[in-house]
Amino acid sequence: NRSPTATAANGTDDPSTPSAVLHRHLHHRPLRITSSHGLYLTTSTGQRILDATSGAAVTSLGHGNPRVQSAMVAQMNQVSYCHSLFFSTTAAEDLCAELIRGTDGAMARALIVSSGSEAMEGAMKLARQYWVERGEGARRTGFVAREGSYHGVTLGALAVGGHVLRKEKFAPLLGVEVGRVGRCDAYRGMREGEGEGEYVGRLARELEEELRRVGPETVCAFVAEPVVGAATGCVPAVPGYFKAIREVCDKYGILLILDEVMCGMGRCGTLHAWQQEGIVPDIQTIGKGLGSGYSPVAGLLMNQRVVDALDRGTGAFTHGQTYQGHPIACAAALETQKILQEEKLVDNVREMGLVLEKLLKEGLEDHPHIGNIRGKGLFWGIEFVQDKATKAPFEPSEAISAGIHEKGMEEKYSISLYPGSGTADGRKGDHIMVCPPFIVTPADIEEIVRITVKVIEDFFQERAG
Ligand code: PLP
């Protein structure tokens, strides 16, 4: 029987058998996962793989949480779907109320969508509508964003994103005007002898100069990740950077959009990463850890300033999606957020994050090909260099992080690999990210660091030998 259904049901990982799935992997067909529990994924051939990156910084509660599963089933039995234009659900109402409460009143409304890219697209449209309702919509259409950033796959999100490799095939990006400023990265950006305050001052001036170049009256928002995720590998801003940026935005009346799709929802040791920066954004996106991977769910939060602008019009956001506020996705996210609070998991992120930092630095800081280990909470990046002294990044053809991932798989260990942290255009250099679920224990952290160190050492030894 060669019907497609039979092939799928009997599915094989044999690379010579064509797959019906359009896979994205560069090197080989992905392993088929047939069960998952806690920090582990199990393949169709029974291999148990330790996932040290929570997927892509997603599975904050780990796999198989019975409370989330029950909440989703209960929701499915109650209301599985309704049209969000005419109806709402308790799950959506309670989740949005919970999210607003989690900002200590800094944010006023939430909108729930299905992915981080949609959340970013919504945030950009919301910023534009803000200016439309204020009567400046015709001229305030542009954005300013940073190099070395990633904001999603859709054409608008790609346009603000600063990761050249991910966007160059798709140019021109539908005419979104984007001014560009440098990233805030102590390792790559600070000059010899420059203090943090001077660096922050220089970046704030750079933003101001870019605004003047494009015309500040043409800009609707500045967009940034508080801790940069996949593009450069868990890079926190230098202290004071976001305060200085917020001041420049305020000086020109420009909205501040913070993309917390990867670094937010507890990942960096506070529910929102901006809560460590002493500022509040006007619009914020969330995703990934919001629903811990149990359902595709993301969202955007906005402050009262944005709500007031919408109220100058009809009060509504001109934006409606079929699966907006999806009841089962909301139930998964709401239960995830309840568990986060009841089990004090964000406190665990902070505590285990300190252990992870200490052990990673002890185990790897002196390695000749490790340039920088940085991060916050359970969000850590390890950047590889050819030469520690010059910080010269590896060429893409060396595929360092891909090689380390493959070496990890020999140890039944999955670690996310990303190219592009070494240069401003993201064309050179590599990093890996260590971002385990929030439920990790000290023993889990020790195991994760032990394998990470082994894999990196083995990889570079074999490469040299
Ligand atoms: N923004 C950031 C900071 C991200 O890291 C990502 C995904 O990695 C996105 C947006 C896009 O989210 P999604 O992949 O859910 O569309």
User: Given a cut of 70, is residue 4 above it in pLDDT?
Assistant: no
Q: How many CB atoms lie within 10 A of CB 130?
A: 26
Query: Are 22 and 251 within 8 A, CB to CB?
Result: no
pLDDT digits (tens, 9 = 90+) for 393-418: 999 889 898 899 999 999 998 987 77
Assess whether 25 and 135 both reside in one domain.
no
Supply the pLDDT for residue 191. 96
Assess whether 376 and 312 both reside in one domain.
no
Assess whether 42 and 97 both reside in one domain.
no
User: Given a cut of 50, is residue 255 above it in pLDDT?
Assistant: yes
Q: How much is the average pLDDT of 16-27?
A: 69
Q: Indicate which atom in ligand 1 lies nearest the CA of residue 115.
A: 15
How distant, in Å, are the alpha carbons of 83, 126, 324 from that of 86?
A: 6, 21, 12
Assess whether 276 and 423 both reside in one domain.
no
Annotate 265-282 with b (16+ C-beta within 10 A) or e (fewer): bbbbbbbbbbbbbebbbb
Q: Indicate which atom in ligand 1 lies nearest the CA of residue 157.
A: 10
Annotate 73-91 with b (16+ C-beta within 10 A) or e (fewer): eebeeeeeeeebeeeebeb
| Ligand 1 proximity of 229 Cβ (cutoff 6 Å) | yes
User: Given a cut of 70, is residue 27 above it in pLDDT?
Assistant: no
Query: Are 96 and 110 within 8 A, CB to CB?
Result: yes
Please, which residues have CB within 8 angstroms of residue 233's CB and are 6 or more apart in sequence?
374, 381, 382, 383, 418, 421, 431, 432, 433
Q: How far is the CA of 267 from the centre of ligand 1 (A)?
A: 14
In the structure, what pLDDT confidence band is assigned to residue 175 with cuts at 50, 70 and 90? confident
In the DSSP assignment, the letter for residue 172 is: S
Assess whether 335 and 357 both reside in one domain.
no
Instruction: Supply the range of the domain harboring residue 369.
Output: 4-60+345-464
Supply the pLDDT for residue 200. 98
Mean of all residue pLDDT scores within the chain: 93
Under DSSP, is residue 129 helix (H, G, I), strand (E, B) or coil?
A: helix
User: Given a cut of 90, is residue 421 above it in pLDDT?
Assistant: no
Supply the pLDDT for residue 201. 98
| Ligand 1 proximity of 433 Cβ (cutoff 6 Å) | no
User: Given a cut of 90, is residue 171 above it in pLDDT?
Assistant: no
| Ligand 1 proximity of 117 Cβ (cutoff 6 Å) | yes
As a three-state string, the secondary structure of 214-249 is HCHHHEEEEEECCEECCCCCCEECCCCHHHHHHHHH
Q: How far is the CA of 2 from the centre of ligand 1 (A)?
A: 38
| Ligand 1 proximity of 271 Cβ (cutoff 6 Å) | no
Assess whether 214 and 156 both reside in one domain.
yes
Is this complex's ipTM strictly greater than 0.85? yes
Q: How far is the CA of 117 from the centre of ligand 1 (A)?
A: 6
Category of 3 on φ-ψ map: left (φ > 0), alpha (ψ -120 to 50) or beta: beta
Assess whether 324 and 349 both reside in one domain.
no
Give the end of a domain, one of 317, 342, 367: 342
| Ligand 1 proximity of 249 Cβ (cutoff 6 Å) | no
In the structure, what pLDDT confidence band is assigned to residue 325 with cuts at 50, 70 and 90? very high
Here the CATH number for the domain that contains residue 257 is 3.40.640.10
* 124: β partners: none
Q: How much is the average pLDDT of 312-338?
A: 96
Assess whether 95 and 175 both reside in one domain.
yes
Q: Indicate which atom in ligand 1 lies nearest the CA of residue 263.
A: 3
Number of domains in the chain: 2
Under DSSP, is residue 300 helix (H, G, I), strand (E, B) or coil?
A: strand
Q: Does residue 178 or residue 214 have the better pLDDT?
A: 214
- Determine which residue's CA is closest to atom 5 belonging to ligand 1: 262
In the structure, what pLDDT confidence band is assigned to residue 28 with cuts at 50, 70 and 90? low
Assess whether 330 and 405 both reside in one domain.
no
Question: Cα angle at 250 between 248 and 252, to 5 degrees?
Answer: 75
pLDDT digits (tens, 9 = 90+) for 103-136: 999 999 999 999 999 999 999 999 999 999 999 9
* CA dist., res. 58 & res. 232, Å (int): 18
Assess whether 361 and 300 both reside in one domain.
no
pTM across the whole model? 0.95
Q: How far is the CA of 418 from the centre of ligand 1 (A)?
A: 14
Q: How much is the average pLDDT of 67-72?
A: 98
Q: Indicate which atom in ligand 1 lies nearest the CA of residue 225.
A: 3
Q: How far is the CA of 286 from the centre of ligand 1 (A)?
A: 9
pLDDT digits (tens, 9 = 90+) for 295-309: 999 999 999 999 999
Assess whether 280 and 150 both reside in one domain.
yes
Q: In the chain, pLDDT over 90 holds for what percent of residues?
A: 84
Here the CATH number for the domain that contains residue 367 is 3.90.1150.10
Q: Indicate which atom in ligand 1 lies nearest the CA of residue 231.
A: 5
| Ligand 1 proximity of 116 Cβ (cutoff 6 Å) | yes
| Ligand 1 proximity of 115 Cβ (cutoff 6 Å) | yes
| Token pair of 85 as six digits | 């234009």
| Ligand 1 proximity of 306 Cβ (cutoff 6 Å) | no
| Ligand 1 proximity of 416 Cβ (cutoff 6 Å) | no
Give the end of a domain, one of 288, 313, 342: 342
Assess whether 368 and 285 both reside in one domain.
no
Give the end of a domain, one of 306, 322, 342: 342
Supply the pLDDT for residue 1. 37
In 3D space, the residue among 228, 226, 237 whose CA is nearest the CA of residue 203 turns out to be: 237
Q: Indicate which atom in ligand 1 lies nearest the CA of residue 262.
A: 5
Supply the pLDDT for residue 424. 74
Element housing 203 (H / E): helix 196-214
